[in-house]
Structure 1
Amino acid sequence: MALKITVIGTGYLGATHAAAMAELGFEVLGLDVVPEKIEMLQRGEVPMYEPGLEELLRKHVAGIEGSTGRLRFTMDWAEVGEFGDVHFVCVNTPQKHGEYACDMSYVDAAFETLAPHLKGPALVVGKSTVPVGSAERLARTLAELSPAGEDAELAWNPEFLREGFAVQDTLHPDRLVAGVRSERAEKILREVYATPVSEGSPFVVTDFPTAELVKTSANSFLATKISFINAMAEVCEAAGGDVALLAEAIGHDERIGKKFLRAGIGFGGGCLPKDIRAFMARAGELGADQALTFLREIDSINMRRRGQMVEMAREALGGGSFLGKRVAVLGATFKPDSDDVRDSPALNVAGQIHLQGGQVTVYDPKGMANAKRLFPTLGYADSAVGAVRGADVVLHLTEWREFRELDPAVLGEAASARVLLDGRNALDPEVWRRAGWTYRAMGRPTA
């Protein structure tokens, strides 16, 4: 008999996972405690921008004309307990307010609320990013609170979604990690992921702690690589080197690789910053804090980039005050192909300049509504040309394709001064200079 799947938490991770499970052929029931979210999803609408997700949702949500009807949503925990053979927990684990540690309250609440409804054999699968050691504790919670007792089993299956590629990453993952304690749990997860495994996705079976560590260690490695090239950009600034050429040269070394070696204003978003901080906090609790002290410097390099971009803008305006100066900011999201502005370096830079008296106007292809909610006092324009109109300096801070395809001549007509600061090293200096712009990028004083 085909497995029935539930997904608890229908935010970014949960909505994507639920739609993908339906695409893989399973009957799926998604649960959330926010009525507005459930109503949206039932209409086949997603609460965030993610390429391809809304189309996938509409293909499967029950009640939508022409859909398979394999995907439904509810707020009823009893219905979830009754329906599912496999329950994926996809709730948020934000950073605790005022400290580095991870806030486990949503995960704990999900397990404590679900467990009493598990009356028969079930596999609960954690997907949220949690501090190592959490799975051990949550497995005990399940066994103690479930009528099914030991038959309510836990597995840990971390997610590796990249915003902008989430649908692809769920349906065609570059690896699947299963932290399990029994052959039964492994067998069930192999059944859930039979399609991607048959297409060649590696399936790595581990214990609980290793599975929990995979996501945080992968994010830490990525953050280290990004901060490394940004540290090299600081040295290039001081020495008169070109970090883009430096990155190209070291990227040819296959031990290092080309990816994530583009210097700029650093990383942000809802995962990388909070995950490396939570990892440091957990290492401290385990008495292994010295192993991760380097992450504190990684975080510090990353945060420093934002202030350096502000100073670069000040220099471009003559080195004095921002008062009365018009600054155009292209980009508000933390990365392209997303509407996510959580811990966005672009908005942070815009906000700092605004606080120092600059008249800042922002444009972003998808992140405007979220940016306005977070920074209501900034100016906003409905196009790149609108943002640049009358600007004394233009800052390119999120590398959307739309910005790479802009016509520098058209933009130059709108700007008060043709001065471009490329905070992502993603635009072609020659193209802009030919159109009469002064082009400056981080870590490339001579480029």
Structure 2
Amino acid sequence: MPLKISVIGTGYLGATHAAAMAELGFEVIGLDVVPAKVELLAQGRSPMYEPGLEEILRRHVVGLPDSTGRLSFTTSFAEVAAFADVHFICVNTPQRPGEYACDMSYFDGAVDALAVHLDRPALVVGKSTVPVGSAARLAARIAELAPAGADAELAWNPEFLQEGFAVRDTLHPDRIVVGVTSERAEETLREVYATPIAEGSPFVVADLPTAELVKTAANAFLATKISFINAMAEICEVADGDVVRLAEALGHDERIGPKFLRSGIGFGGGCLPKDLRAFFARAGELGASESLQFLREIDSLNMRRRASMVELTREALDGSLLGKRVAVLGAAFKPETDDVRDSPALNIAGQLHLQGAEVSVYDPKAAANAKAVFPTLRYADSAVSAAQGAHVVLHLTEWREFQELDPAALGEVVSRRHLLDGRNTLDASLWRKADWTYRALGRPRA
């Protein structure tokens, strides 16, 4: 009989994974402990903005017009245990308050709640990013709690989703990594991913610790590459160099490549910063803190970019933020998402506001989430509205909409034509031609 799948936790990762598994032809049940989220998903609506996700939900959620009926949602662990053969756990693993380490309480709670209902052979698959060594501990916990005993097995299958491209990355992954302890688990996961494997996605089989490490190592490498070019921007700033041309030249080296070499205000989001910190915290617990000491400087450099943009804004306003009008274009941590978790853009907007500036923010998708975090900021319904009377305009999230702005038209509504490009994606010559003063960290002033 075809496998049936459950997905526990329906945030960015879980909601997308559940919908994608239904798209691949499986019967799927998604679980969340928040009834309102379950009700929303059961209507074919996504609790977050993710391109393409709602289309797949509407195509498969049971009870909707013309739906395949392959996807349903519940709050009951007993129901998912009775329904599914494979259980993907996709719950949040945030940073512990006041610490760098990962908070495993949500994941541990999900395992405990599920395991007590596993009374037949089942494969529990961890997808969340966790400290290395967690899988072995959780496997022992499942064996202890599950009525099925050793027939309730644990595997690890890290996720590599990019917000804004999560649907594509799930249906057409650039690699599938599985950590397993038996041939049965490997065969089951090969069946789950048969379609992308047939399309050519590499299938990498590893042990549990290696599978856990893959995601954290990948994030650490990406963070290092981003922070390297931002460090070069700091050098260019004092040496009067151009970090954009520097990155272009470096990117032609096939050993380096151009991806993640765009300098700016740094990385953010709900994964990269906290995963980086959890990684070096775990290394310390294992007695290998020196191995990842460099990641602490990566984290520090990344946060320094935000302070640098605040100071660049102060410089543009002749040394004082007090009472000055600042337009901020972007609140999400990256384009094509409404996620503002640890967003550099929103953090900079908040710092400017707290230091006396009158800040007006516009984001095409993230305004509601931003307002929940910083309700005292002013939120506009368009870039033009945000720029009304502004003494300086900050470009902080690289939405395509902002790249298509007309500099001359925007110049008609501001008090001063002064633009700070925090993402180095706008055409400097185009803005300067429209009599704007254009500045970006690590680039020549003219």
TM-based fold match above 0.5: yes
Unaligned runs of 5+ residues in structure 1 are none
Q: Check whether the contact 1:242–1:446 (CA below 8 A) recurs between aligned residues.
A: no
- Inter-partner Cα distance in structure 1 for 2:79 and 2:346: 42
* Structure 1 residue matching 2:44: 3-state secondary structure: coil
Corresponding residue for residue 386 of structure 1 = 385
- Inter-partner Cα distance in structure 2 for 1:263 and 1:27: 44
- Inter-partner Cα distance in structure 2 for 1:417 and 1:317: 10
Corresponding residue for residue 58 of structure 1 = 58
- Inter-partner Cα distance in structure 2 for 1:20 and 1:259: 26
Q: Check whether the contact 2:327–2:394 (CA below 8 A) recurs between aligned residues.
A: yes
Corresponding residue for residue 112 of structure 2 = 112
Corresponding residue for residue 72 of structure 1 = 72
Q: Check whether the contact 1:420–1:437 (CA below 8 A) recurs between aligned residues.
A: yes
Corresponding residue for residue 216 of structure 1 = 216
- Inter-partner Cα distance in structure 2 for 1:346 and 1:11: 22
Alignment of 1:121-200 (within 5 A): 121-200=121-200
State the one-letter code of the partner of 1:267. F
Unaligned runs of 5+ residues in structure 2 are none
State the one-letter code of the partner of 1:367. A
- Inter-partner Cα distance in structure 2 for 1:407 and 1:301: 33
Q: Check whether the contact 1:125–1:157 (CA below 8 A) recurs between aligned residues.
A: yes
State the one-letter code of the partner of 2:436. W
Cα shift readout 1:78-106 (whole Å, capped 9, x = no counterpart): 11111110000000000000000000000
- Inter-partner Cα distance in structure 2 for 1:279 and 1:77: 30
**TM-score for both structures, normalised by structure 2:** 1.00
State the one-letter code of the partner of 1:234. E
State the one-letter code of the partner of 2:346. L
Whether 1:27 aligns to 2:27 is yes
Alignment of 1:47-446 (within 5 A): 47-319=47-319, 321-446=320-445
Whether 1:46 aligns to 2:46 is yes
- Inter-partner Cα distance in structure 2 for 1:99 and 1:274: 10
Q: Check whether the contact 2:241–2:444 (CA below 8 A) recurs between aligned residues.
A: yes
Give percent identity, aligned residues only. 76
State the one-letter code of the partner of 1:124. V
State the one-letter code of the partner of 1:370. N
- Inter-partner Cα distance in structure 2 for 1:78 and 1:296: 43
Cα shift readout 1:156-192 (whole Å, capped 9, x = no counterpart): 0000000000000000000000000000000000000
**TM-score for both structures, normalised by structure 1:** 0.99
CA shift for structure 1 position 76? 1.2
Cα shift readout 1:191-220 (whole Å, capped 9, x = no counterpart): 000000000000000000000000000000
Cα shift readout 1:313-364 (whole Å, capped 9, x = no counterpart): 1111112x21111000000000000000000000111111101100000000
- Inter-partner Cα distance in structure 2 for 1:73 and 1:49: 19
- Inter-partner Cα distance in structure 2 for 1:305 and 1:76: 44
CA shift for structure 1 position 442? 1.1
State the one-letter code of the partner of 1:61. V
- Inter-partner Cα distance in structure 2 for 1:277 and 1:76: 33
Cα shift readout 1:370-416 (whole Å, capped 9, x = no counterpart): 00110000111100000001000000000000000000011000111
CA shift for structure 1 position 270? 0.2
- Inter-partner Cα distance in structure 2 for 1:115 and 1:362: 46
Q: Check whether the contact 1:237–1:442 (CA below 8 A) recurs between aligned residues.
A: yes
* Structure 1 residue matching 2:227: 3-state secondary structure: helix
CA shift for structure 1 position 445? 2.6
Q: Check whether the contact 1:241–1:446 (CA below 8 A) recurs between aligned residues.
A: no
* Structure 1 residue matching 2:293: 3-state secondary structure: helix
Corresponding residue for residue 17 of structure 1 = 17
- Inter-partner Cα distance in structure 2 for 1:308 and 1:96: 27
* Structure 2 residue matching 1:117: 3-state secondary structure: coil
- Inter-partner Cα distance in structure 2 for 1:87 and 1:107: 13
Q: Check whether the contact 2:350–2:374 (CA below 8 A) recurs between aligned residues.
A: yes
- Inter-partner Cα distance in structure 1 for 2:386 and 2:265: 20
Runs of at least 4 residues of structure 1 off by over 3 A?
none
Q: Check whether the contact 2:438–2:445 (CA below 8 A) recurs between aligned residues.
A: no
* Structure 2 residue matching 1:178: 3-state secondary structure: strand
CA shift for structure 1 position 77? 1.1
CA RMSD of aligned residues (A): 0.6
* Structure 2 residue matching 1:341: 3-state secondary structure: coil
* Structure 1 residue matching 2:98: 3-state secondary structure: coil
CA shift for structure 1 position 446? 4.0
CA shift for structure 1 position 272? 0.4
* Structure 2 residue matching 1:73: 3-state secondary structure: strand
State the one-letter code of the partner of 1:389. Q
State the one-letter code of the partner of 1:339. D
CA shift for structure 1 position 306? 0.3
Q: Check whether the contact 2:78–2:117 (CA below 8 A) recurs between aligned residues.
A: yes
- Inter-partner Cα distance in structure 2 for 1:395 and 1:32: 38
